[in-house]
Amino acid sequence: MGRATTKSDLITAAGGNYEKLEVLISELTEQELSTPFDFSGDEKKKEAHWKRDKNLRDIFIHLYEWHQLLLKWVSSNQKGDSKPFIPEPYNWKTYGAMNVEFWKKHQSTPLEEAKNMFEKSHIEVMKLAETFSNEELFSKGVYKWVGGSTLGSYFVSVTASHYDWAMKKIKAHKKNCANM
């Protein structure tokens, strides 16, 4: 399925990728769980996140924090408190630094707690998505605070697309562990 453009597709893609991610995680061996992520040997993996995230907890936290961005953004704007999606002092050009701050903030968060935070926030995001109509999610111009995009595109980004990102990273880690 391509990127979701309807509420139904969003719910299906987000739920489906969430389930796939959960299955992939449940199949990790003790070795894969205890081995730090290291993608330094792959020249194709140049983006900052390949160096940033060192374990499954870091992935859960990244997903959780992006869920929080969406939840807080929608809540604030629905109350009439105009806020950008990316909170100050960050913006779309500097959000990599924000991601590093999320990472630093949670270095003492235990894996199980990070997993629970992620699972809970996924449910919250999905419940919030359900409160909007297809038109509210995927028609441009419905909410001035969304800008030139659609509200649904933000939901897709923090769920289905981000879960896909997480699965790619975990699969690359599994491949690295198999080659040790």
User: In the chain, what are the domain boundaries?
Assistant: 7-178
CA distance 21 to 39: 20
pLDDT tens track, the chain, 180 positions: 678 999 999 999 999 999 999 999 999 999 999 999 999 988 899 899 999 999 999 999 999 999 999 999 999 999 999 999 999 999 999 999 999 999 999 999 999 999 999 999 999 999 999 999 999 999 999 999 999 999 999 999 999 999 999 999 999 999 999 987
In three-state secondary structure terms, 109 is: coil
Which tokens sit at 93?
């050009």
* Full DSSP string of 35-92: SPP--TT-TT--STHHHH--SHHHHHHHHHHHHHHHHHHHHHHHTT----SSPTT--T
What pLDDT is stored for residue 90 in this prediction? 97
pTM: 0.96
Exposure string of 75-98, with b = 16+ CB inside 10 Å and e = fewer, is eebeeeeeeebeeeeeeeeeeeeb
What pLDDT is stored for residue 180 in this prediction? 77
* Helix axes of 111-130 and 56-78: crossing angle, nearest 10 degrees: 30
Tell me the fold of 7-178: Four Helix Bundle (Hemerythrin (Met), subunit A) (1.20.120)
Q: What are phi and psi of 78, to 5 degrees?
A: -65, -30
Looking at residue 145, the DSSP 8-state letter turns out to be: G
What pLDDT is stored for residue 179 in this prediction? 84
What pLDDT is stored for residue 1 in this prediction? 61
